[in-house]
Structure 1
Amino acid sequence: QHLPMFHTEHCVYCTFLSEGTDYTNCGRPCESHRVSLQDRIGMSHPVRVDIGCRNTVYNAIEQSGAEYITHFLD
C-alpha cells in the first residue's frame, strides 16, 4: 500500500482545479479528478481527499510487509 507522507487541511484540488475558495463553493473537483505531486526526481505522489476535505499525500512507491510474514509466524 502507499504510505501517507503528509497531511493538510489545505485542499490542493480546490486551489488548482476550481474557482471556489472552500468546500462550500469549490464544485468538488476531487470527485472527478486525480492529482499527484511530482518531486524533484520525477516521482508522482498521489493526493487523496477524505470526507472532511483534508488532503493526504502518499508515497509514490507502494510498500508491503508480505515478505516478512513467515518470519512473524515463526
Structure 2
Amino acid sequence: MNNYPKKNSMKITVEINGESFNCTNEMPLSFLLEYLDFNTSMIIVEYNSTILHKEAIDSVRLNNKDKLEIITIVGGG
C-alpha cells in the first residue's frame, strides 16, 4: 500500500455502504479503496450522492461524515 502523510492526522468516520468506517481525514479515496481491496476498474463509486468518474477518485480526500456507496460490477450472462 502507498504511504501518505500521517502527521497531525485527525480521525474521522465515513459511511461505506451504510456501515461506519474510521480513518484519517488525510486519506485519499483511492487509498481507502485499495485498503479495502476493491478493483477500481470494476466498481462504481457514489460519493456524497454524486457518481464519481474514475479519474476523480485520485483527487478526492475524505472528510468526516462523507457517505460512499461502492457498487461492484459483475459480468455474466
- Shorter-chain-normalised TM-score: which range? under 0.3
TM-score by length of 1: 0.28
TM-score by length of 2: 0.27
Larger Rg: 1
